[in-house]
């Protein structure tokens, strides 16, 4: 099977279930942001030292692929049937809250703003967090333009960014590095 079709050479791409839109369409921007997020989560998975973080990031990667399929599937045109996509993993939102609570129980209380930095794993997870926030913004933009976007996508991404923040703190904590604290007067 060839991986190139040449059908996008004119600046359009096909949606799951039919139809074509410009590659600059908000739906494609949101799908692309999720694709990028999946790659950053995979990178973080390779960089982290904490096994439970690695396992949880793997679950997230699978979820993100499903979220992307959901966003790539608009309501079908008249006379078409909507193709099946994976169910939104909304159960994971509750799981992520439990993951966050577990991390909070291990790391020191958060009393200051935290900068990105510390261990390579923490930095990789924090980069994934920033891409997650961009994907969330892209999904919100799409939701404001298209009525068929499930708000569960935004809920999932919002909770994921919180979990990624917690995972970065855990990576630094277990590496014996602690948080990199923001100093309002700058570095001394």
For 4-26, what is each residue's pLDDT tens digit?
Answer: 787 777 788 777 767 777 687 89
In this prediction, residue 101 carries a pLDDT of 97
* CA 32 – CA 182 distance, rounded (Å): 32
Chain mean position to CA 117: 20
Q: Please spell the DSSP secondary structure of 114-182, one letter per residue.
A: EES-SSHHHHHHHHHHHHHHHHHHHHHHHHHH-TT--HHHHHHHHHHHHHHHHHHHHHHHHTT---EE-
Percent of the chain whose pLDDT exceeds 70: 93
pLDDT at 72 over 70: yes
Looking at residue 91, the DSSP 8-state letter turns out to be: H
Q: What is the pLDDT of residues 73-93, one digit of tens each?
A: 877 666 666 767 778 888 999
In this prediction the pTM is: 0.90
CA distances from 145 to 26, 139, 157, 174 (A): 8, 10, 18, 43
pLDDT at 98 over 70: yes
pLDDT at 43 over 90: yes
**How much is the mean pLDDT over the chain?**
90
- Ranges 63-77, 114-128, 130-144: which has the least confidence: 63-77
The CA-based diameter of the chain, rounded to the nearest angstrom, is 66
CATH for 21-75+89-181? Answer: 1.20.1200.10
Structure tokens at 100: 């966050």
- Segment 148-169 shows an average pLDDT of 96
- Ranges 78-87, 97-106, 111-120, 123-132: which has the least confidence: 78-87
In this prediction, residue 24 carries a pLDDT of 79
Looking at residue 22, the DSSP 8-state letter turns out to be: E
């Amino acid at each position: 099977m060839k991986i190139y079709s040449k059908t996008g050479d004119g600046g359009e791409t096909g949606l799951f279930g039919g139809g074509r839109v410009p590659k600059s369409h908000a739906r494609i921007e949101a799908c692309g942001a999720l694709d990028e997020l999946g790659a950053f989560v995979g990178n973080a998975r390779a960089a982290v030292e904490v096994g439970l973080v690695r396992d949880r990031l793997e679950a997230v990667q699978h979820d993100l692929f499903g979220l992307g399929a959901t966003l790539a599937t608009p309501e079908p045109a008249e006379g078409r049937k909507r193709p099946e996509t994976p169910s939104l993993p909304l159960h994971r939102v509750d799981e992520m809250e439990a993951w966050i609570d577990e991390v909070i129980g291990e790391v020191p209380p958060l009393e200051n703003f935290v900068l990105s930095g510390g261990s390579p794993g923490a930095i990789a997870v924090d980069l994934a967090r920033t891409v997650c926030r961009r994907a969330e913004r892209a999904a919100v933009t799409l939701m404001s333009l298209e009525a068929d976007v499930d708000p569960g996508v935004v809920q999932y991404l919002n909770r994921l960014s919180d979990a990624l923040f917690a995972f970065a703190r855990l990576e630094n904590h277990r590496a014996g590095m602690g948080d990199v604290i923001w100093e309002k007067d700058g570095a001394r």
